[in-house]
Amino acid sequence: MKFATLANGSLDGQLLVVSRDLQRAIAVPRIAPSLLDAMQRWAAVQGPLQDVYDQLDAATAPEGSFAFDPAACAAPLPRAPQWLDGSAFLNHSHLMDQAFNKPPPPMVDTVPMMYQGASDDFLGPCDDVPLPSEADGIDFEGEFGVVTGPVPMGVTPEAALGCVRLLLQINDWSLRALGPHEMKTGFGFLQAKPSTAFAPVAVTPDELGPAWRDGRVQLRLQVQWNGERFGEPHGGEMSFHFGQLIAHAARTRRLTAGCIIGSGTVSNAARSAGSACIAERRVIEKIDQGESRTGFMRFGDRVRMQAVLDDGQPGPFGVIDQRVVHAQP
């Protein structure tokens, strides 16, 4: 199934069921008013939602359906009980360590790194991104993510994969000039991580077919900055799969339905794949050329992200297409 959320002025928006080809949508208030509500009552609503989805893909669209408009969408979950972001592509962290000549974090190859982000104000796929200053080092970060059902404390990585209800595409905005101080405090990110953005459509894992394999989203993430190719790294190189990330998050506590777990920046060892964030390109330049040459984003810049299949066909999540703007006091 495919879901989106219509921005209607409420905190959680209105749940939409979206057709497989992303052309039609329908609201289902009698089944679930919001996607968060559906996640919390999944056992009761999964069957009725599947029936609606099947009807949308039939020859005759059901009464009340309409043309799907991603620009009218909020994030699939405009807010969530929890947002936990990993750093599961170790190529990315190894590049950072190499560029700045610092030792890797302890047990980085065996224990996932993860931070707890703010989850009260996510951005939609076409929302402008208001930020206070270009001097903060504005950066995008292309990721994949999952939405969980209830997760018991101490779950194994294998069992945790059974807790995955939805898959997502993410742009985890970062302010690179603010990150080093916050990391040194030992308390994690706050100001360095403004509101995270999401592609319009969340999908059940079966929608990916063989592209959901080994707990990983086996798709390329095409990234363009101001209309120019920036990278298209593949999600299959994830060093820790999503079951391992979920189990790490639930080692000492249970997770409630609707929690979002992110993969961290999609990153590949092959330089030809490009990058999904500016910081990684800058460290590659430092390693290969002795200095970083690419600057960070400026107000008015745009970033576009879209997951694609290996044959180049569009993936199931739709497109993130955002502009950075100066936040007004």
- Would you state the pLDDT for residue 15? 98
CATH 3.90.850.10-classified regions of the chain:
83-326
> Cα(129)–Cα(122) distance, rounded to whole angstroms?
11
- Would you state the pLDDT for residue 96? 79
Report the length, in residues, of the chain.
329
What long-range pairs does 4-8 form, CB within 8 A, spacing at least 24?
A: 4/68, 4/70, 4/73, 4/76, 4/200, 4/201, 4/202, 4/318, 5/34, 5/35, 5/73, 5/74, 5/75, 5/76, 5/77, 5/78, 6/72, 6/73, 6/74, 7/72, 7/73, 7/74, 7/78, 7/124
Please, which residues bridge with residue 169 across strands?
144
pLDDT tens, residue by residue, 128-139: 999 999 999 999
- Would you state the pLDDT for residue 9? 95
Residue 280, CB-side half-sphere exposure with 13 Å CA sphere: 27
Amino acid symbol at 264 = G
The answer to whether residue 35 scores a pLDDT higher than 90 is yes
The answer to whether residue 99 scores a pLDDT higher than 70 is no
Q: Scan for tokens 């559906």, then name that residue.
A: 38
> Cα(44)–Cα(177) distance, rounded to whole angstroms?
46
Which residue, among 102, 86, 210, has the nearest Cα to 145 in the 3D structure? Answer: 86
Determine what percent of the chain is predicted with pLDDT higher than 90: 86
pLDDT tens, residue by residue, 224-278: 999 999 999 999 999 999 999 999 999 999 999 999 999 999 999 999 999 999 9
Q: What is the mean pLDDT of the chain?
A: 95
Write out the DSSP string of 58-112.
SSSPPTT-EE--GGGB--SSSS-S-EEEE---HHHHHHHHHHTT-PPPTTTTTS-
The answer to whether residue 98 scores a pLDDT higher than 80 is no
- Would you state the pLDDT for residue 100? 60
Query: What average pLDDT does the segment 282-311 reach?
Result: 95
328 vs 276, more confident = 276
The pLDDT confidence band at residue 186, using thresholds 50, 70 and 90, is: confident
Residues with Cβ within 8 Å of residue 73, at least 6 apart in sequence? 4, 5, 6, 7, 16, 124, 125, 126, 200
Angle between helices 278-289 and 90-99 (to 10 degrees): 50
Residues with Cβ within 8 Å of residue 167, at least 6 apart in sequence? 144, 145, 146, 147, 202, 203, 204, 205, 207, 208, 212, 217, 317
The answer to whether 11 touches 72, Cβ cutoff 8 Å, is: no
Return the CATH fold of 83-326. Fumarylacetoacetate hydrolase; domain 2 (3.90.850)
> Cα(117)–Cα(130) distance, rounded to whole angstroms?
18
The answer to whether residue 154 scores a pLDDT higher than 90 is yes
The pLDDT confidence band at residue 102, using thresholds 50, 70 and 90, is: confident
- Would you state the pLDDT for residue 187? 83
The pLDDT confidence band at residue 11, using thresholds 50, 70 and 90, is: very high
Query: What average pLDDT does the segment 180-203 reach?
Result: 91
> Cα(27)–Cα(275) distance, rounded to whole angstroms?
37
> Cα(171)–Cα(320) distance, rounded to whole angstroms?
8
Determine what percent of the chain is predicted with pLDDT higher than 70: 99
- Would you state the pLDDT for residue 71? 97
Which residue, among 286, 207, 240, has the nearest Cα to 87 in the 3D structure? Answer: 240
- Scanning the chain, the segments in alpha helix (DSSP H) are 35-40, 42-56, 90-99, 157-161, 179-185, 242-249, 278-289
The pLDDT confidence band at residue 182, using thresholds 50, 70 and 90, is: confident
The answer to whether residue 318 scores a pLDDT higher than 90 is yes
The region of weakest confidence among 91-105, 137-151, 162-176, 256-270 is 91-105
Which residue, among 236, 233, 312, 223, has the nearest Cα to 272 in the 3D structure? Answer: 233
70 vs 62, more confident = 70
The pLDDT confidence band at residue 145, using thresholds 50, 70 and 90, is: very high
- Would you state the pLDDT for residue 101? 66
The region of weakest confidence among 13-17, 42-46, 60-64, 284-288 is 60-64
Query: What average pLDDT does the segment 284-294 reach?
Result: 93
- Would you state the pLDDT for residue 329? 77
